[in-house]
Structure 1
Amino acid sequence: MTISESPRRLVLSKAGAPVLEPVTKLGGQPVWVDKPQWPLSTELETPMMFLGQFRLPGEEVRMAYLFMTGSEDYVDGTWDSEEGENALIVQPGRVPSFITVTDDAEGPTMSEDLAVELVPAGAAELEEGWDDRLGGPPAWIQDEEYPPGDWTFLFQLDGGGEFYDVNFGDAGIGYGFLSADGEEGRFLWQCS
Structure 2
Amino acid sequence: MAISALSYRLVLSKADAPILEPVTKLGGQPVWVDEPQWPLSTELGTPMMFLGQFRLPGEEVRMAYLFMTDDEEDHVDGTWESEQGENALIVQPGRVPSFITVTDDAEGPTMSEDLAVELVPASPAELEEGWDNRLGGSPTWVQGEEYPPGDWSFLLQLNDGGEFYGVNFGDAGVGYGFLSADGREGRFLWQCS
Give TM-score scaled by structure 1 length: 0.99
Match of 2:183 in 1: 182
The percentage of counterpart residues that share the same residue type is 85
2:144 aligned partner: 143
Give secondary structure in 2 for the equivalent of 1:72. helix
The alpha carbon displacement at 1:106 in A equals 0.1
Q: How does 1:74-153 map to 2 (within 5 A)?
A: 74-153=75-154
Q: In structure 2, how many angstroms separate the alpha carbons of the residues matched to 1:6 and 1:152?
A: 13
Q: How does 1:43-82 map to 2 (within 5 A)?
A: 43-70=43-70, 71-82=72-83
1:128 and 1:10 mapped to 2: Cα distance?
16
**1:158 Cα deviation (Å)?**
0.4
Runs of 4+ in 1 over 2 A off after TM superposition: none
C-alpha distance in 2, partners of 1:9/1:190? 19
CA distance in 2, matches of 1:139, 1:23: 24
**Structure 1 spans left out of the alignment, 5+ residues:** none
Which residue identity is paired with 2:30? P
SS of equivalent to 2:155:
strand
Give, in whole Å, the separation in 1 of the partners of 2:134 and 2:124. 12
Q: Report how far residue 13 of structure 1 moved.
A: 0.2
Q: Deviations over 1:53-81 (max 9, x none)?
A: 00000000000000000121120000000
Aligned length: 192
Measure, in 1, the Cα distance between the counterparts of 2:112 and 2:75: 17
Q: Could you tell me how far apart the structure 2 residues matched to 1:74 and 1:132 are?
A: 25
